[in-house]
Structure 1
Amino acid sequence: MSDGSLNLDDFGDLIERPDSGVRRDAEERRARTGLPTGALGRLDELGEWLAAARGRVPVEPLSRPKVVLFAGDHKVAELGVSARPAGGAHTLVRAVLEGNSPVAVLARHQGVPLRVVDMSLDCDPEELPEEVTRHRVRRSGGRLDIEDSLTAEEAERAFRAGMAVADEEADSGTDLVVLGDLSVGGTTAAGVLIAALCGTDASVVTGRGGGHIDDLAWMRKCAAIRDGLRRARPALGDQLGLLRTVAGADLTAITGFLLQSAVRRTPVILDGVVSAACALVAQRVAFRAPDWWLAGQAAGEPAQAKALDRMALDPLLDHGVTAGEGTGALLALPLVRAAAAVAAELPVRDAEEPGGADEPGAGRADGAEVLDAT
């Protein structure tokens, strides 16, 4: 992409997997701590993944995580598919900026900075800080059931904006991103993307959204996803075209952000169904990209479950959190931080010490010998 053209096929060459050699070194170091295999559960897997992603053993503790939330409105919300009013995503943004939303409270108490990126809010840009609105592509998005969400030019701008945000975060030293969205109608667009990419029907992917819609709203949402799916299927061979058709500027930007974050070797924790849908599109673009992501939580949305299963991502948490806005992913951050800290700071034993790496049964609760991973 150095010549200025946007060719999504380039991501397949640019994205490499986390360093497998470093991961083996991390596994070997873990075996030399003397702790029984499995004693730390998933912390071991996370610590080794982080070591491979950051290319260092022992892995450095996470010191500069960041919450990044992409914001936008979707005109499909005018059909009554959401518990929130159409065009109301700017109220979610204001609550975050004022520190009055769950994700803002959690970020404040965890000491994690938070960034909001307006891609297509249905409000005057002057109502929000310039640092929030400077990447905006348009005001709201086309109604996905009857028209394209974006023009071709808008889709490319949104995708490039997501890439630019990923570069800005990598350049500023962010070592892990907690990714979320602030949208009204976004879960409907996500349902269309996941149904199209998984080859399933609308009813299979239609959930209740963050606001727990009633049965009538669920039926309206299912119909909107069905109509959007009919429009999306012809674009399946062109991922940017698929995003243009049904995704909107915020989801398009998230997809660009995920791919460029993988290029820049920045790990990402996904939140709910919206980030899962964008990740699924990104996987279609570059099959190695999901190796850079963690699924923070199971949000209870059937579409999210299908997308994560397709990408072989197992959620870290399942606490029934449906607030969205990156809340569930941020709840998973302490677990990831703990894994990094333990992997970084647990001392290893010398081979000649009792219980050391060469001691029969070292690292195994059942007394079996440890095989050399190399």
Structure 2
Amino acid sequence: MGLLKETTAKINDLDHQVMKQAEERVNHLIKPVGSLGKIEKLLIQLAGITRNPFPEIHNKAVIVMAADHGVYKEGIASNPQEITAIQTKFFPQGATGVCAFAKQTNSKVVTVDIGIDGDVSTTPGVIHRKIKYGTDNMVNGPAMTREEAIRSIEVGIEVAMEQMNQGVNLFATGEMGIGNTTASSAITSVVLGLDPKETTWLGANYPEEKMAHKINVIRKAIQVNQPDPKDGIDILSKVGGLEIGGMAGIMIGCAANRCPVVMDGYISAASALIASLIEPKVKDYIIPSHLSVEIGAIKALEYLGLKPMLDLDLRLGEGSGAVLAFNLVEAAVMMNKEMFTFEEAGF
């Protein structure tokens, strides 16, 4: 049995008995019932994930998966593809948006080359798990083989496990890859059964007047490849990306080890669609961070039944919104740990 099958076989439902215990305590804290809204629901989810009515956060990490896309050749991005490699080198230096927020939340940034179309092997601080030098152009055929798609997921599982062995017990998904909103729109269109015009927007400042071209490229890729909407691996291999597979693997690895994972924006949402098709219980372990301005992200979240905590008009990627939400996860833990119940307060 391969790593992916072994890992998904370990994924169980949330512990509903522990969730009831946590809810009972939260309802008796010295405050009006429900007055801390989503923070209360978050604590109950954390209790169910960890099987602990008093969940704790020890170490936090955002794993940034970096990869390129062959569909870039179709003119679907406003930035040069070399930006993927350039920006990836900046993550270990602490110089990007997600790095700034990671410093503020005392969390680490783990950078992984899973499929950059270039060489960053001499860059200190980058984990090298390259499967191939970018995906193939999905307009002409599958973005990758089924075996490569599975391997991308398994890389995510492996990296998550390595970080857990170092004491990390709260994760966020991040990515870097010029052209990955195109792949994410294709995935969302297939899974939700929508035309790409309903899932595609600007990405990284793509000119609005060229949007019809981007939509047509996605339509053509779907028509050429005919991905099975019920097979997450088939969708990933035909119209996905290596970093999207890597993030799906992080989510699957976290679910198998009862560890919460905070989802970032649109690209992370596409990964969640893939992961939940492979094993539907995975979505119970996902904490949605923010409402991306990308229209496809909004629809993917609705489909998954996930309600984000923040609405800040974010669309940077990198895991930046997810890391901001670390503060809210820790707030839920501290609420439960530090507040008295009425009984404890002597009432």
Contact 2:105-2:324 at 8 Å conserved across structures: no
Taking the TM superposition and a 5 Å limit, the aligned residue runs for 1:102-251 are: 102-129=97-124, 132-209=126-203, 211-251=204-244
Conserved 8 A contact 1:192-1:232: no
Q: Give the match for residue 301 of structure 2.
A: 308
- Following superposition, the deviation at residue 26 of structure 1 comes to 0.7
Q: 1:44 to 1:88 in 2, by over 3 A?
A: same
* Structure label with greater radius of gyration: 1
Matching residue of 2:65: 70
Does the Cα contact within 8 Å between 2:142 and 2:237 map onto a contact in 1? Answer: yes
- What is the Cα deviation at residue 88 of structure 1? 2.5
Matching residue's letter, 1:28: E
Counting aligned pairs with the same residue, the percent is 27
Question: Which AA in structure 2 matches 1:24?
Answer: K
Equivalent position to 1:96, from 91, 96, 114: 91
CA distance in 1, matches of 2:23, 2:206: 46
Deviations 1:147-166 (A, max 9, x none): 22112332232222112112
Q: What pairs up with 1:337-352 in 2 under 5 angstroms? A: 337-350=330-343
- Which one-letter code corresponds to 2:12 in the other structure? E
Q: Given the superposition, is the C-alpha separation of residues 35 and 123 from structure 1 closer, same or farther in structure 2, using an over 3 Å criterion?
A: same
CA deviation vs aligned residue, 1:106-143 (integer Å, no higher than 9, x gap): 112221111011111111243423x6242110111111
Render the CA deviation track for 1:210-253: whole Å, top value 9, x for unaligned.
x2211233222111111122234343343222211111221122
Does structure 1 conserve the Cα–Cα contact (< 8 Å) formed by 2:78 and 2:206?
yes
What is the SS of the residue equivalent to 1:56?
coil
Q: Does 1:271 align with 2:248?
A: no
CA contact (8 A) 2:173 2:250 kept: no
Which of 40, 44, 47 does residue 44 from structure 1 map onto? 40
Following the alignment from structure 1 to structure 2, what is the Cα–Cα distance between the partners of residues 32 and 273?
Answer: 37
**Are 2:25 and 1:29 equivalent residues in the alignment?**
yes
CA distance in 2, matches of 1:86, 1:223: 20
1-structure distance, mates of 2:200, 2:345: 59
| Farther off after superposition, 148-157 or 186-195 | 148-157
Deviations 1:237-275 (A, max 9, x none): 432222111112211222222112111111111111111
TM-score, normalisation: structure 1: 0.87
CA shift, 1:333, in A, is 1.4
Specify the code of the residue in structure 1 equivalent to 2:88.
V
Which digits, 9 at most, give the CA deviation of each residue in 1:190-221, with x for residues without a partner? 11001000001010001111x22112332221
TM score, norm. by length of structure 2: 0.94
**What's the CA shift for 1:316?**
0.8
Give the 3-state SS of the residue equivalent to 2:244 in structure 1: helix
Aligned to 1:335: 328
1:54-100, Cα deviation, whole Å (9 max, x unpaired):
2212332x221111111001121222212211242011212222222
Check conservation: 2:252, 2:275, Cα contact below 8 A. yes
Deviations 1:173-202 (A, max 9, x none): 211101111111111001100100000101
* Higher mean displacement: 214-223 or 318-327: 214-223
CA gap of 1:88–1:32, structure 2 versus 1, over 3 A, is same
Tell me which amino acid in the other structure corresponds to 1:162.
G
CA pair 95-32 structure 1, distance change in 2 beyond 3 A: same
5+ unaligned residues in a row in structure 2: which ranges?
none
Match of 1:260 among 243, 253, 256: 253
* Secondary structure in structure 1 of the residue aligned to 2:220: helix
Q: CA deviation at 1:38?
A: 2.1
